[in-house]
């Protein structure tokens, strides 16, 4: 059996499969990673996403945020990898997705049980009254955008530096990792904490770890049972086909 066949068999035999996704799954939708040579932090100063800087200089921060997350990311569409995971959920083989991405592409692909470890860029939240707004409800022509209910500063509803992981997403991710019989790790190399600990939690609770990455990662030798090298947009559709036996 090759790695894809082994992975498909593990998924078919599992009654609780969870996917854990990172920047690599969205790279094929044109969303660059934050880190590394071609990363966003080579072009922008990461301090624009530090909470203290954001409160002190909301207009400067928001200008960068609008460019990065709304003018540019806003146009990204889900790719074959996102669609394959949605298909796996629809067929009853996938319980949930834990994602480190904030791009909303799993939702747009049709997945419904998603724990967003780092929040979501498609909603804004009021820093005073905590009202939520969908992007599009609020104009970003004049910066910074303000709450229409109380007039206070709005912040994208994703996790900034110096900010904790949203409680519900964290609790849900830990629970899913503990219950997982199979965890499919896609496009994430295990460098961002505490997100990366979800893989070790799953492993400690007996899950089989399937890893789909371009190259081996921090997970590969410590946790991974089945490694499939390649692009998520090519490997995942093949894997889903194999699971479905089509
Ligand atoms: Zn408000």
pLDDT at 115: 98
Residue 139 and residue 239 in one domain: no
118 CA → ligand 1 middle, Å: 22
Are residues 201 and 141 part of one domain?
Answer: no
Could you read off the pLDDT of 8-48 as tens digits, one per residue? Answer: 999 999 999 999 999 999 999 988 877 777 788 888 999 99
Is 43 a domain residue?
no
Residues at Cβ < 5 Å from ligand 1 ion: 126, 128-129, 131, 147, 149-150, 152
What pLDDT does 165 receive? 93
Q: Is residue 40 part of a domain?
A: no
pLDDT of residue 39: 82
Beta strands 17-21; 182-186: pairing state = parallel
Question: Residue 66 C-alpha to ligand 1 middle, in angstroms?
Answer: 20
Asked if residue 152 is part of any domain, the answer here is: yes
Domain count, the chain: 2
Query: How close is the Cα of 106 to the center of ligand 1, in Å?
Result: 28
Write the CA distances from 33 to 10, 87, 130, 171, integer angstroms.
30, 25, 29, 26
The residues annotated as belonging to the active site are 118
What pLDDT does 162 receive? 86
Asked if residue 41 belongs to a domain, the reply is no
Whether residue 99 is found in the same domain as residue 147: no
Q: What is the CA(132)–ligand 1 centre distance, in A?
A: 8
CA gap 47, 72 in Å, rounded: 19
How many angstroms does the Cα of residue 151 sit away from the middle of ligand 1?
6
Detail the residues annotated as belonging to a binding site for Zn(2+): 126, 129, 147, 150
Residue 200 in any domain: the answer is yes
Same domain? For 189 and 244 the reply is yes
CATH number of the domain where residue 7 is located: 3.40.50.1220
Query: Is residue 240 located within the same domain as residue 192?
Result: yes
The CATH number that applies at residue 126 is 3.30.1600.10
- pTM exceeding the 0.85 threshold for the entire prediction: yes
Answer yes or no: do 211 and 135 share one domain.
no
Ranges of the chain whose pLDDT falls below 50:
none
C-alpha to C-alpha distance for 73 and 75, rounded to whole angstroms: 5
> Given this model, what pLDDT does residue 1 score?
87
What separation in angstroms does the CA of 98 have from each of 55, 95, 139, 198? 29, 10, 30, 9
Residue 44 lies in a domain: no
Task: Tell me how far the alpha carbon of residue 127 lies from the centroid of ligand 1, in angstroms.
Answer: 7
Token representation of residue 105: 């592409």
**Binding-site residues:** 126, 129, 147, 150
User: Are 176 and 63 within one domain?
Assistant: no
Give residue 27's domain range. Answer: 1-31+76-118+165-246
pLDDT attached to residue 177: 98
Residues 114 and 169 in one domain: yes
Domain match, 128 and 194 both: no
For ligand 1, the distance from its centroid to the CA atom of residue 153, given in whole angstroms, is 7
């Amino acid at each position: 059996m090759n790695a894809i066949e082994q992975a498909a068999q593990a998924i078919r035999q599992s009654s609780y499969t969870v996917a854990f996704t990172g920047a690599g799954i969205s790279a094929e939708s044109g969303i660059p990673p934050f880190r590394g040579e071609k990363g966003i932090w080579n072009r922008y100063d990461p301090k624009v996403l530090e909470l203290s800087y954001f409160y002190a200089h909301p207009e400067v921060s928001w200008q960068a945020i609008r460019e990065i997350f709304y003018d540019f990311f806003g146009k990204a569409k889900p790719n074959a990898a996102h669609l394959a995971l949605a298909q796996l959920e629809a067929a009853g083989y996938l319980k949930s997705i834990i994602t480190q991405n904030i791009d909303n592409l799993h939702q747009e692909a049709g997945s419904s049980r998603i724990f967003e470890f780092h929040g979501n860029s498609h909603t804004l939240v009021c820093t005073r009254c905590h009202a939520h707004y969908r992007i599009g409800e609020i104009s970003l022509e004049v910066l910074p955008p303000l709450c229409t209910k109380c007039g206070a500063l709005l912040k994208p509803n994703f996790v900034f530096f110096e900010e904790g992981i949203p409680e519900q997403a964290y609790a849900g991710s830990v629970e899913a990792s503990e219950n997982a019989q199979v965890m499919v790790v896609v496009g994430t190399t295990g460098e961002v904490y505490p997100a990366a600990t979800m893989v070790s939690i799953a492993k400690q609770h007996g899950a089989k770890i399937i890893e789909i990455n371009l190259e081996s990662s921090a997970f590969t030798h410590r946790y991974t049972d089945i490694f499939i090298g390649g692009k998520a947009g090519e490997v995942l559709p093949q894997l889903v086909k194999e699971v479905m036996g089509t």
